Amino acid sequence: MPDLNRARLRQLPHRVASIDDNTVEINLLSAVGLAPVGGQLIYQPPVDLAGAEVRMQIRDVPGGTVLMTLALGSGLEIAGAGTISREISASDTAALMWSSAVYDVDVTYSDGTVHRYYSGPITVSRGGGCDG
């Protein structure tokens, strides 16, 4: 089932339900009509974010000046098991004075361990819009 494969750094993981020790369910994929063949499926449960602090910093360059910080309750939200959602309001976005930057998302666990889960470039386009 090649549809199980994904580009690790470019595609989100599949949402999987664990049915029992030998069965998982992936609702977005169907194996109807396919013959069982060998292979390996690695299931990693979602990261437990309970009690963790999450911070996203946007900087002009890697390690540079902080342009914006989002945290839980101010732009970031734990939206489910292993899921962090982010939102920058339209008014905050309109006030941005930069068009490109870099970001990182760090999670600090209750034991003090810090894990950087995401980092990358940001581009702000002017004059567009969305329908919500």
pLDDT tens digits, 74-84: 999 998 888 89
- Cβ atoms of 77 and 88 closer than 8 Å: no
Tell me what pLDDT residue 10 has. 73
Instruction: Give the position of tokens 């939200």.
Output: 77
Query: In terms of residue numbers, what domain contains 80?
Result: 53-123
Query: Does some domain include residue 44?
Result: no
Of the candidates 32, 74, 36, the one whose C-alpha atom is nearest the C-alpha of residue 54 is: 74
From CA 88, how far away is CA 70, in angstroms rounded? 8
Query: Does some domain include residue 22?
Result: no
Q: What confidence category does residue 130 fall into, taking pLDDT thresholds of 50, 70 and 90?
A: low
Query: Does some domain include residue 1?
Result: no
Please, which residues have CB within 8 angstroms of residue 2's CB and are 6 or more apart in sequence? none
Query: Does some domain include residue 21?
Result: no
Amino acid at 49: L
Query: Does some domain include residue 60?
Result: yes
Instruction: Supply the mean pLDDT for the chain.
Output: 86
Query: Does some domain include residue 40?
Result: no
pLDDT tens digits, 52-70: 999 999 999 999 999 999 9
Count of domains forming the chain? 1
